[in-house]
A = this chain, B = another copy of it.
Amino acid sequence: MVEAAIITIGDELLIGQTINSNAAWIGKELSSLGIEIKKSLTIKDEREDILSAVDEYFKNYDLIIVTGGLGPTRDDITKETLCEYFDTSLELNNEVLSRITAFFRERGKEMLDSNTKQAELPKDAIVLENKNGTASGMWFQRDQKILVSMPGVPYEMKSIMLSEVLPRVSAIYNVEGNYYQTLMTQGEGESFLAQEIKDWEDRIQKDGLSLAYLPSPGVVKLRLSSKRGSQDDPIIESYFDELRTRFPKYVYGMNGEHIHEVVGNLLRERNQTMGTVESCTGGGISGAFVEFPGASDFFQGGLVTYSNELKVKMVNVKEDTLLSHGAVSEQTVKEMAMGGQKVLGVDYVIAISGIAGPNGGSAEKPVGTVWIAVAYPGGVIAKKFLFGSHRKRNLEKAKLYASNMLRRTILKIDELDLPEDDNENSFV
């Protein structure tokens, strides 16, 4: 298997001024080619650090991708340092010089001496054209080992990777390799799932697959990977199918799909419509649905009835209901959902009311208590959730749980059999 390492150069990455999205992007692209990323290292723009990192990784791995430190300013020393490491020197590349000159002319800008210097490139490196900037990429090769250096500006780096680096890498290594598929689940925590699928996990290991749990608030992804490449796809698919059958409540999609997309597709296929009536989430649920293109196919609109007054005025919640049960209650969310169905003229309505926190809780209804109802053609169901004490996270989880509840209702998975408490805070 081809082994790679990523070296990203820049103080701004170390002090957290910039999040290292380059490393993630490169990692994703290379591993989709079946190349195994062994390490990703971020270092300062300093000669010794660059030399020692390059030396260590070039000895141990097949492919090293370096980004950063190629700009026109004095603190950019990557090019010189790589020349030192590979024992070569710079020479003016006329083709690159005329490209840089044209780059400035087209933009009506004056070219500086420092930009001319960017056309000086290592004698025995292949120059990788940068269509979006003035710092060229460089490809050093010694026997079977490769080091690629590119600028750190994401869109310059990406264009060099896509047009120059990835095609060469695939051709040279003729790679297939690691193959991943990910199953998306919503509604149960990592440890609950691990216990429920213990037998399954034993079996996949015997088949040479490996499993990783990737939890985030409200969602746990199960990633199966195979060292044998995509030929294992049917095996992976049949293992996933088993989980789909066993846990239809939780399994909602594949490979990073969002639950809102999945619900949207279900409604689109069925030519049905939805709307929302939100209290505590204040529009966050409807907002999550319209983040995806084409939401107007199924999403008609919503009401944010944050105040009690508007719950009565806009969706006809009975004042009596609010007085006797409170705004955060089964009765209220059911009336909100049914009222919304009428006002909005849609097939399904998600209604929600809860105590997002940090204040407003009581012994009976602590912070994190959330009631969600789904009105469907012919009825309404409601369910109570107890999330945590963190406001934003509660709102985030509410969006996911509510949308999965709608998915389950559309698919008639467990209309009247929603578990009393299917949230787990260990993975919040």
Contacts and interface: CB of A to CB of B under 8 A. Distances in A.
B283 A112 contact: no
Contacts of A421: 107-109
A335 interface: no
B39 A41 contact: yes
A280 to B, nearest CB: 7
Interface in A24-79: 24-29, 31, 37-44, 49, 71-75
Contact of A15 (B28, B108, B201, B310): B28
Interface stretch (A163-171, A237-245, A292-300, A375-383): A292-300
B287 A132 contact: no
B43 A31 contact: no
Contacts of A393: 155
Contacts of A231: none
Contacts of A214: 12, 17-18
A79 B177 CA distance: 30
A214 B153 CA distance: 10
Nearest to A215: B153
B191 A115 contact: yes
Contacts of A280: 290
Contacts of A195: 112, 114
A11 interface: yes
A261 interface: no
Interface residues of A, number: 114
Interface string A348-360: 0000000011110
A200 interface: no
A425 interface: yes
Contact of A386 (B44, B108, B210, B284): B108
B19 A392 contact: no
B301 A307 contact: yes
Contacts of A140: none
A194 B386 contact: no
A426 interface: yes
A212 interface: yes
Contacts of A212: 11-12, 17, 75
A284 B294 CA distance: 16
A300 B306 CA distance: 5
Nearest to A300: B307
A253 interface: no
Enumerate the 6 nearest inter-chain pairs by beta-carbon distance, A residue then B residue, closest first. A283-B283, A282-B290, A16-B28, A283-B286, A284-B287, A16-B27
Interface of A: 11-21, 23-29, 31, 37-44, 49, 71-75, 103, 107-109, 112, 114-115, 132-134, 153, 155, 180, 182, 190-192, 194-195, 201, 210-215, 217, 223, 256, 275-276, 278, 280-287, 289-296, 299-307, 309-310, 314, 343-345, 356-359, 386, 388, 390-393, 395, 421, 423-428
Given A38-B43, A282-B299, A301-B307, 8 more contacts: A16-B28, A17-B24, A38-B44, A39-B49, A71-B190, A109-B421, A282-B290, A302-B306
